[in-house]
């Protein structure tokens, strides 16, 4: 073997082993930080009084920053922090942490941070500061990370308009004792600064009553669980249509799903509202019904009984 090639292989081998040792050391260090974070993340949720929760939140935030200072922390998953949302951008350019703290039954605050991916593995962290209590027109205000609307994000999808890259975020806000909110908003980075919201939510089918919005907010009765998500098969955002159960449209805490669905479709660089997603109408007298377990004489229909047995889940 030629001396130069042998030297190159030895250098590469040494570098690889050193890199593996470094990564192992980083993971070991981050695991220790994660164990501490887990304890306080639980206390943020389960603390008996606001003082306990405030203290836990403050300590958690400080420990999180110290943990993320570790080189290459961007890639560490923090899987044990189950009450903390941790989402990677689809292109792995950033990671976003969000969590909430209950101050009292009518006041809930979201906290969070955006960790940017860096070439050398060093930390670039952008804090998210919830200012929703002073944002007057929440659906029509463009904000940055220091005047954030506040939400626990559960999904990110990428969208483009020419050379502009947007990330559409799906989040929820427990809001207060009477209602919950689900929020859809865009995130873009301008000169390294995160910008939340843009007038990309258009209601062209109902433009007389709706001008373009910076974000779409669905507020509904507590514990109703209105669905808001992205359907990859349909290629669109799907959300449940809401109606006031007491015929009081100004009182959002009375809104519940009525079984119909609306949506948004990405067209020409904006989200276009779809008034009715599913147009299938069931003919009268042919509504879907479960298979009967007994015939007209009261005798059990064995095949139908078998088909109604629960299916054992695979491990």
Distance CA(136)–CA(33), nearest Å, equals: 38
pLDDT in tens, the chain (315 residues): 544 444 334 333 433 433 344 466 688 889 999 999 999 999 999 999 999 999 999 999 999 999 999 999 999 999 999 999 999 999 999 999 999 999 887 889 999 999 999 999 999 999 999 999 999 999 999 999 999 999 999 999 999 988 899 999 999 999 999 999 999 999 999 999 999 999 999 987 654 457 889 999 999 999 988 999 999 999 999 999 999 999 999 999 999 999 999 999 999 999 999 998 887 444 555 544 555 555 656 666 665 544 444 333 333
| H/E element, 230 | strand 228-231
**What's 133's DSSP letter?**
G
Q: 149: closest CA among 173, 174, 168, 178?
A: 173
96-135 pLDDT per residue, tens: 999 999 988 788 999 999 999 999 999 999 999 999 999 9
Distance CA(24)–CA(29), nearest Å, equals: 9
Determine whether 286 is exposed, middle or buried from the number of CB atoms within 10 Å of its CB (0-12, 13-18, 19+): exposed
CA-based radius of gyration for the chain: 25
Determine whether 157 is exposed, middle or buried from the number of CB atoms within 10 Å of its CB (0-12, 13-18, 19+): middle
Distance CA(296)–CA(277), nearest Å, equals: 39
- In sequence order, what are the residues at sequence separation of 6 or more whose Cβ sits closer than 8 angstroms to the Cβ of residue 1? none
Distance CA(265)–CA(271), nearest Å, equals: 5
What pLDDT is recorded for position 22? 42
What is the token pair recorded at 143? 């904000």
58-87 pLDDT per residue, tens: 999 999 999 999 999 999 999 999 999 999
């Amino acid at each position: 073997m030629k001396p130069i090639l042998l030297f190159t292989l030895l250098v590469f081998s040494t570098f690889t082993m050193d890199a593996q040792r470094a990564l192992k050391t980083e993971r070991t260090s981050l695991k220790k930080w994660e164990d501490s974070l887990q304890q306080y993340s639980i206390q943020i949720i389960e603390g008996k009084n606001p003082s306990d929760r405030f203290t836990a939140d403050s300590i958690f935030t400080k420990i999180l920053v110290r943990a993320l200072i570790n080189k290459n922390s961007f890639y560490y998953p923090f899987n044990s922090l189950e009450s903390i949302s941790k989402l990677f951008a689809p292109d792995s350019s950033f990671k976003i942490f969000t969590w909430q703290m209950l101050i009292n039954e009518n006041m809930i605050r979201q906290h969070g941070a955006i960790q940017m991916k860096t070439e050398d593995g060093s930390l670039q962290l952008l804090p998210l500061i919830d200012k929703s209590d002073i944002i007057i027109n929440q659906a029509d205000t463009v904000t940055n990370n220091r005047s954030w609307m506040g939400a626990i994000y559960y999904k990110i999808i990428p969208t483009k308009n020419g050379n502009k890259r947007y990330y559409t975020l799906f989040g929820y806000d427990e809001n207060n004792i009477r209602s919950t909110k689900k929020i859809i908003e865009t995130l873009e980075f301008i000169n390294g600064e995160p910008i939340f919201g843009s007038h990309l939510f258009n209601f062209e089918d109902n433009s007389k009553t709706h001008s373009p919005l910076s974000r779409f907010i669905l507020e509904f009765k507590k514990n109703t669980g209105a669905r808001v998500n992205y359907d990859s098969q349909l290629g669109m955002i799907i959300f449940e249509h809401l109606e006031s159960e007491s015929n009081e449209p100004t009182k959002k805490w009375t809104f519940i799903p009525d079984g119909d669905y609306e949506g948004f479709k990405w067209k020409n660089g904006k989200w276009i509202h779809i008034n009715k997603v599913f147009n299938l109408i069931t003919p009268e007298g042919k509504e879907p019904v479960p298979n009967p377990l007994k015939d007209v004489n009261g005798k059990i229909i064995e095949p139908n009984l078998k088909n109604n047995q629960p299916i054992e889940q695979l491990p």
